[in-house]
């Protein structure tokens, strides 16, 4: 995803855009953090050189935690807020139902919170309530799934789906660049989601740089363990030999790895997507086909809290010359391998 792409799908899995460039989190933690009140997950701690400021109440309307990445979004938001003695977090139950989430956001508006952080179930459908908040003088930090109008938010922060596919393709390309007639297969997400299209486009564009590599098969799964296993089994049956697999989502990758193990196949390398701890543990152990995962950082939720606090205290971001926070921030999809796994392992989510 380059910049702010509208992704209006409303399905339960439509929220899966798979998480943490540590560098992005580090940049934003520099914006107005103070001594933490308690220990929080590694890689998500606030710097201690900034003093507490004006008290800020942040309303957080996040997703239903029915997937590892979605749960990590909620965990990152809560844990970041706990590092700030001057932040009160008003958090909703979390819903992937558009009408329910609109009602939750309206409740937060009526409570007159200082700032809102919203990861919408449907960016288009939640646009009106985002506009309502902005008109009420409540700045909105739009998290990952962008509203249909830039007037509905003050700042957008999210992941780079196109870049995710691009980086996965370049990693695989470099591993296979000297292999004649290399074959690659792709286990995608839900095909009617814009994010899936962007990830596949980035992957395809990267492979164009390697004339010896051909994408020979592609299956779309559903971002679940069960679908990953079923669709991977189909790929393995259809393709008797190939050299690399890119899987868009580490949750469905758990199922994919089961199918691979059951089939007794190990002639190829596998690259995952999102940055789940299970994938990172397997990369570190180096005892299976998975050799890398491309991040889609759930730490974006922690960064959204940083931005919301900065907005509430009328501050900019340390390290930037501007006195205001940016209007958008696209996180980087780093490739995690055994060479840098120790750096990124603390960001892995369950």
Please provide residue 285's backbone torsions phi and psi, each rounded to the nearest 5 degrees.
-70, -30
The confidence band for 52, taking pLDDT boundaries of 50, 70 and 90, is: confident
Q: What's residue 41's pLDDT? A: 42
Evaluate if residue 50 carries a pLDDT over 70. Answer: no
Domain made up of 12-159+298-331: CATH architecture: 3-Layer(aba) Sandwich (3.40)
| pLDDT in the model for residue 164 | 98
Residue 45 has pLDDT above 90, yes or no: no
Question: Residue 11: what pLDDT?
Answer: 34
**Cα first-last separation, the chain:** 24
Task: Say if residue 26's pLDDT is above 90.
Answer: no
Nearest to 154 by CA among 140, 167, 137: 140
Report the pLDDT averaged over residues 329-341.
97
pLDDT tens digits, one per residue of 99-108:
999 999 999 9
Q: If you average pLDDT over every residue of the chain, what do you get?
A: 87
Residue 1 has pLDDT above 60, yes or no: no
> How many C-beta atoms lie closer than 10 Å to residue 281's C-beta?
13
Domains 12-159+298-331 and 161-295 share a fold: yes
* Mutual angle of helices 277-285 and 250-263, in 10-degree steps: 40
Is the distance from CB of 295 to CB of 165 less than 8 angstroms? no
Type and span of the H or E element at 245: strand 244-247
* 127-152: pLDDT as tens digits: 999 999 999 999 999 999 889 999 99
Q: What is the DSSP string of 258-323?
A: HHHHHHT--SSEEEEEE-BHHHHHHHHHT-SSEEEEEE--TTHHHHHHHHHHHHHTT---TTSS-S
Question: Domain 161-295's class?
Answer: alpha beta
CA-nearest of 27, 93, 16, 64 to 252 is 16
| Lowest mean pLDDT segment, chosen from 23-37, 92-106, 193-207, 245-259 | 23-37
At 49, list the tokens.
């050189």
Average pLDDT over residues 272-279: 96
In this predicted model, which residue has the larger pLDDT, 189 or 65? 189
Domain residue extents for the chain? 12-159+298-331, 161-295
Are the CB atoms for 106 and 125 separated by under 8 Å? no
């Amino acid at each position: 995803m380059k910049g702010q792409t509208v992704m209006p799908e409303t399905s339960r899995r439509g929220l899966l855009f798979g998480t943490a460039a540590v560098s992005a989190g580090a940049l934003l933690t520099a914006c107005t953090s103070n001594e933490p009140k308690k220990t929080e997950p590694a890689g998500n701690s606030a710097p201690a050189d900034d003093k507490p400021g004006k008290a800020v109440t942040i309303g957080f309307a996040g997703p239903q935690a029915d997937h590892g990445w979605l749960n990590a979004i909620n965990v990152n938001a809560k844990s970041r807020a706990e590092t700030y003695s001057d932040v009160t977090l008003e958090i909703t139950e979390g819903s992937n139902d558009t009408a329910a989430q609109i009602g939750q956001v309206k409740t937060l508006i009526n409570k007159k919170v200082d700032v809102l952080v919203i990861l919408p179930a449907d960016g288009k459908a939640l646009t009106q309530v985002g506009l309502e908040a902005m008109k009420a003088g409540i700045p909105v930090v739009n998290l990952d799934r962008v509203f249909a109008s830039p007037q509905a938010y003050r700042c957008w922060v999210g992941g780079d789906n196109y870049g995710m596919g691009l980086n996965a393709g370049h990693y695989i390309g470099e591993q296979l660049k000297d292999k004649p007639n290399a074959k690659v297969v792709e286990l995608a997400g839900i095909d009617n989601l814009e994010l899936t299209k962007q990830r596949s486009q980035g992957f395809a564009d990267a492979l164009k740089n390697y004339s010896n590599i051909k994408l020979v098969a592609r299956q779309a799964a559903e971002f679940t363990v069960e679908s990953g296993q079923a669709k991977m089994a189909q790929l393995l049956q259809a393709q008797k030999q190939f050299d690399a697999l890119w899987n868009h989502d580490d949750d469905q990758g758990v199922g994919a790895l089961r199918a691979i193990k059951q089939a007794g196949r190990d002639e190829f390398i596998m690259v995952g997507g999102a940055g789940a701890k299970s994938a990172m543990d397997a990369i570190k152990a180096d005892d299976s086909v998975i050799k890398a995962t491309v991040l889609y950082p759930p730490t974006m939720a922690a960064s959204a809290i940083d931005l919301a606090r900065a907005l509430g205290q009328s501050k900019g971001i340390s390290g930037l010359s501007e006195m205001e926070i940016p209007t958008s921030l696209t996180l980087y999809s780093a490739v995690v391998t055994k060479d840098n796994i120790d750096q990124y392992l603390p960001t892995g989510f369950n």
